[in-house]
Amino acid sequence: MPDVQGEEMRSSFILTRVGIEGVKRPVIIRRPGREVTLVPTFDISVDLPAEQKGSHMSRHVEVIHRAVDHAVRDENDSLEKLVERVARDLLRSHEYAAYADVKLSADYFLQKESPDGRNVTENYRIFARAKVRKDDEIPWRAIGVEVSGMSACPCAMENVRVLLKRELREKDIDEERLKILDMIPVPTHNQKNRTFLEIGMAGPMDIEADELISLIESNLSSPTYEILKRKGEAELVLEAHRKPKFVEDVVRDIIDGFLDRYRNLPDEAVLHVKSVSEESIHKHDAFAERISDLGELRDKTRYMKV
The answer to whether the beta carbons of residues 106 and 153 sit under 8 Å apart is no
DSSP 149-170: EEEE-HHHHHHHHHHHHHHHHH
Beta carbon nearer to a copy of itself, 138 or 260: 260
**How many angstroms separate the CA atoms of 177 and 161, rounded?**
14
- Among the candidate windows 91-99, 133-141, 182-190, 196-204, which touches a copy of itself by CB under 8 A? 182-190
Q: Shortest Cβ distance from residue 270 to a copy of itself (Å)?
A: 12
Q: Cα(86)–Cα(71) distance, rounded to whole angstroms?
A: 10
**Sign of the torsion angle spanned by Cα atoms 293, 299, 301, 302:** positive
Does 109 participate in binding a copy of itself (rule CB under 8 A)? yes
Give me the least distance between CB of 137 and a copy of itself, in Å please. Answer: 26
Nearest C-alpha neighbor of 219 from the set 183, 260, 184 = 260
Establish if 217 lies at the interface with a copy of itself (CB under 8 A): no
Q: What is the DSSP string of 103-134?
A: EEEEEEEEEEE-TTS-EEEEEEEEEEEEEEET
228 lies in the binding site for a copy of itself (CB under 8 A): yes
The residue from 92, 159, 266, 268 that contacts a copy of itself (CB under 8 A) is 159
The least CB distance from residue 100 to a copy of itself, in Å, is 14
Is residue 98 near a copy of itself by the rule CB under 8 A? no
Q: Is 72 in the site for a copy of itself (CB under 8 A)?
A: no
Can you name the residues that pair with 93 across neighbouring β-strands? none
Please identify which residue in 143, 201, 236, 269 interacts with a copy of itself, judged by CB under 8 A: 236
Distances, alpha carbon 36 to alpha carbons 93, 108, 190, in Å: 28, 9, 33
Q: How far apart are CA 249 and CA 255, in angstroms?
A: 10
| Interface positions, 9-38, toward a copy of itself (CB under 8 A) | 10-26, 37
With binding defined as CB under 8 A, does residue 278 bind a copy of itself? yes
Q: Which is nearer to a copy of itself, 84 or 122 (CB)?
A: 122
| Range in contact with a copy of itself (rule: CB under 8 A) among 89-97, 134-142, 161-169, 197-205 | 161-169
In the set 74, 233, 270, 293, which binds a copy of itself (CB under 8 A)? 233
Q: Choose between 98 and 160: whose C-beta lies nearer to a copy of itself.
A: 160
